Structure 1
């Protein structure tokens, strides 16, 4: 029994089926616009869209912080919390918990 008479290879004797099969394989794997490349690009697009959402949330958070800094109370609160500034005749005590302190093991 020759290789051309095998049951599985019988449909491939037709030139149109053979060309179609080669075309499909070429388009799925080897072409510049192949399915593999499209899949990679779609994965990249999804990652970039999630990154975009993250940055939009950060922008909203920063805009709220800017609004708070535009009034005097918000500016004073920021100066006290971040730079430990104080009013005249006022004492500030900074309380740090053990788990927030840096130790030699953390470095």
Structure 2
């Protein structure tokens, strides 16, 4: 006799649960497609962060090399910023990849 009363109640909870699940998966502000999009964006940003950390490390190493040696500092300024003395011309010889031949 008690099961007769519980069956509609159980169906009500099942239907309510399904409606809530569908709402959470597709209509909520944090729905499943948004979560997947945010996850992919996070992965891309993490890759970018690794790339830029490598670039920062390279620039710091280059800076240490240049600031530690007066001759390299002058060479760096002449090649990168085309600085020169008033009475001279600067020529930078580059290879096919547009990289200076002398490193």
TM class by shorter chain equals 0.5 to 0.7
State the superposition RMSD in angstroms.
Answer: 3.2
The superposition leaves residues 68-96 of structure 1 with CA deviations (integer Å, 9 ceiling, x where unpaired) of 2211132133134332748x8x9866556
Moved over 4 A (4+): 90-100
Partner of 1:4: none
Change (3 A) 1:57 1:32: same
Partner of 2:11: 14
Normalised TM-score (structure 2): 0.62
Please list every run of 5 or more consecutive structure 2 residues that lacks an aligned counterpart in the other structure: 1-9, 99-103
What is the total number of aligned residue pairs between the two structures? 86
Normalised TM-score (structure 1): 0.60
Q: Partner of 1:32: helix, strand, or coil?
A: coil
Q: Is the 8 A contact 2:78 2:90 kept in 1?
A: no
Corresponding residue to 1:43 among 34, 40, 43: 40
Change (3 A) 1:14 1:94: closer
